[in-house]
Amino acid sequence: MVSKVSKNGLITIPMEIRRRFGIEVGDLIIWSIDERDNAIILYVIKEPLKYLEGKYDDSEIVYEVVEETANSLIQGEENAGN
């Protein structure tokens, strides 16, 4: 399977992969680099809020705020590459 990287650095996860791993809208994909094998490892987080639970002391934090912050960081990375 092959995915092409867009000018904004986006890729499409092939349908076969999404189905096999049950990847749905809202799931988190954690990227990890395996330096030894020169490979990228992806982890699928099915319950993002559960994954983030306990990582922040802010009791007011909600998924929408986390998603907005993540989008801002991604946009910053895209702009840094230009």
Encode the chain (82 residues) as per-residue pLDDT tens digits.
Answer: 899 999 989 999 999 999 999 999 888 888 889 999 999 999 888 876 665 666 656 666 676 777 777 777 777 655 655 5
Domain assignments of the chain as residue spans, ordered by start: 1-46, 48-82
C-alpha to C-alpha distances, 74 to 29, 69, 77, 79, nearest whole angstrom: 13, 9, 5, 9
Tokens of 16: 């076969």
Long-range contacts of 37-41, Cβ-Cβ distance < 8 Å, separation of 24 or more: none
Contacts of 81 (CB under 8 A, 6+ apart): 9
Options 3.40.109.10, 2.10.260.10, 3.40.718.10, 1.10.3720.10; CATH of 1-46: 2.10.260.10
pTM of the model: 0.53
Tokens of 4: 């092409």
